[in-house]
Structure 1
Amino acid sequence: MGVSTSSEEKGIRGDGICVVTVDFPPVNALPVDGWYALADAVRAAGRDPGTRCVVLAAEGRGFNAGVDIKELQARGADALVGVNRGCFEAFSAVYECEVPVVAAVQGFCLGGGIGLVGNADVIVASEDATFGLPELDRGALGAATHLARLVPQHLMRALYFTSGTVTAAELHAHGSVWAVVPREELLDAALGLARKIAAKDGELLRLAKAAINGIDPVDVRRSYRFEQGFTFEASVSGVADRVRSRFGKGDS
């Protein structure tokens, strides 16, 4: 359980690809320490001069279910500050990774998962993948910044306000998912794309990543940090606790 990095098995290191895998059973809802561990793994992979592409993957039924709500309920404000900072670090690590990041997404990709894939460079998804932000059902706000990188503005707002989801096929139609494949082919498809990227000159890839980030129309770090302020406001005002108290009781 946790975050693992694989760059040697199956000859992956020779291809210049590093696979970072998240595994937090049962649903990959990450605790505070998990977000920091993920950030550290992605940053370390990008710093390695032998890496030319990172594949971000996950074990289990779904790619990511966001934050561990039970930890928030048990630890209160401490956990809220920790998870805010942890998510910020993890999302930033993916965005700022010195080499391109390919996200391999299966099953559900919710909440914090949107922050990860929205900041990735390319997304490959399985046919059963669904994407959404259930934040309003969980007493939180945030990651609209990243959802807006996946869908048009008005669809983003509709999904955000309804806590709705979209399928991998729908995102493929919008151009934000590169390929949709059967679940059993997901990792191979992500690695195949990563190999095409990693075949390029490593130094030039790093310059290209920095250049593309530099022309982004939205500063994702500042935008997401702004959103997080409203999550904190919801918490200190008691709104978040009121909503979270219904979590898991059939009306959220």
Structure 2
Amino acid sequence: MSPDTGEVHLTDDGDVWWLELSNPGRHNALTWRMYDRLEEICAATHAAPGLRVLVVRGGGGSFAAGTDIAQFTEFTGADGLAYERRMDEVLRSLLAVRVPVVGVVEGPAVGAGLAIAACCDVLLASEDARFGVPVARTLGNMVATVAMHRLRIRLGAARTTAMFLTARLLRAADAATAGFVHTVCAPEDLEHSVGALVERLRSNAPLTLAAAKEIERRLDGLDTLPAHEDVLARCYGSDDFQEGVAAFLDRRIPEWKGR
């Protein structure tokens, strides 16, 4: 169940680390090994005192099209809970990075890709970027509470609820209007904007930036989130989820039964 595909590349420029999600041909859909590597890099930032900025982006004109669905074909309800617990761990590791995390979004940032983008501190997006969690239309599962909580804070409660219920994707301009995206750039201007933002962040007082992030984490109250595993188990243990995965891989519309 763990395909040996996908990479998370890291370029170390001293005080700036450039992290690239890479799964060519799958719009950088994340595999188990990619999640492991992402968490490993996040943990390594704590042992890099000279680090000032972490940049997260996808290769090949996409950010990340969720988790690689081929890994879900034999999932049980218990597997689904283990997966969402793992997602919580990975997202918390990204949120715990002490330096500013810049997300650079081109193309789709959906499902787990959107969750990762939401855990970045500042997002830059190209005009073709799209954001969403279309699981109500595709798989019939649900995201874990850390991802939902972060989206409600960053995107807003009403927009987050509407996005989940309608399974529609947000354009970059709409995400910027909501305050989720800091700057929307024309494709030809994206690299210049990324460079300018990184330079600004790396020149700011590192202890102030770390303090701002730590206070935000405490205000967000991630340690006091309500229990939610019964809700996730209901989705992942359902016939509908099995149908959703099969339909996704067969490139057809799922036939939902509500059970």
- TM-score band, normalised by shorter chain: 0.7 to 0.9
Paired residue for 2:38?
A: 38
Using the TM superposition, give the Cα deviation of residue 205 of structure 1 relative to its aligned residue in structure 2, in angstroms. 2.4
SS of the aligned residue for 1:214 comes to: helix
Structure 1 residues 85 and 93: CA distance shift in structure 2, 3 A = same
Q: Specify the code of the residue in structure 2 equivalent to 1:43.
A: A
1:200 aligns with 2:204: yes
Asked whether the equivalents of residues 5 and 21 of structure 1 are also in contact (C-alpha less than 8 Å), the reply is yes
- Larger deviation: 41-50 or 61-70? 41-50
Q: Distance in 2 between matches of 1:230 and 1:201?
A: 43
Confirm whether residue 22 of structure 1 aligns to residue 21 of structure 2.
Answer: yes
- How big is the shift at 1:184? 3.8
User: How is 1:5-20 mapped onto 2 (pairs within 5 angstroms)?
Assistant: 5-8=10-13, 13=14, 16-20=15-19
* 1:27-176 mapped onto 2 (5 Å cutoff): 27-74=27-74, 80-81=80-81, 83-136=83-136, 137-142=138-143, 143-176=147-180
Q: Is the 8 A contact 1:20 1:54 kept in 2?
A: yes
Once the two structures are superposed, what CA deviation does each residue of 1:70-93 show, in whole Å capped at 9, x if it has no partner?
111156568645532432222112
Amino acid corresponding to residue 21 of structure 1 in structure 2: E
1:249 is the counterpart of 2:248: no
In structure 2, do the counterparts of structure 1 residues 80 and 18 end up closer, same or farther at CA, with 3 Å as the change threshold?
Answer: same
**Aligned pairs, how many?**
243
In structure 1, how many angstroms separate the alpha carbons of the residues matched to 2:175 and 2:183? 10
Alpha-carbon distance in structure 1 between the residues aligned to 2:71 and 2:34: 12
**Aligned CA distance change for structure 1 residues 164 and 222 (closer, same or farther; 3 Å):** farther
1:207 to partner: Cα distance: 2.4
* Residues 73 and 53 of structure 1: CA distance in aligned 2, closer, same or farther (over 3 Å): same
Change (3 A) 1:147 1:210: closer
Structure-2 change in CA distance of 1:76 and 1:68 (3 Å): farther
Separation in 2, partners of 1:35, 1:53: 20
Structure 1: 5+ residue stretches without partners: none
The CA distance in 1 between the partners of 2:252 and 2:166, in whole Å, is: 16
Q: How far does the alpha carbon of each residue in 1:217-239 deviate from its partner, in whole angstroms, 9 at most, with x for none?
A: x52x664x845552332222333
Alignment-derived partner of residue 215 in structure 2: 211
Name the TM-score, length of structure 1 as normaliser: 0.86
CA-based RMSD of the aligned residues comes to 2.3
How far apart, CA to CA, are the structure 2 residues paired with 1:222 and 1:134? Answer: 27
User: Which range moved further: 236-245 or 193-202?
Assistant: 236-245
**Structure 1 residues 205 and 155: CA distance shift in structure 2, 3 A:** closer
What TM-score do you get using the length of structure 2 for normalisation?
A: 0.84
Kindly indicate whether the alpha-carbon contact (under 8 Å) linking 1:106 and 1:126 is maintained by their aligned counterparts in 2.
Answer: yes
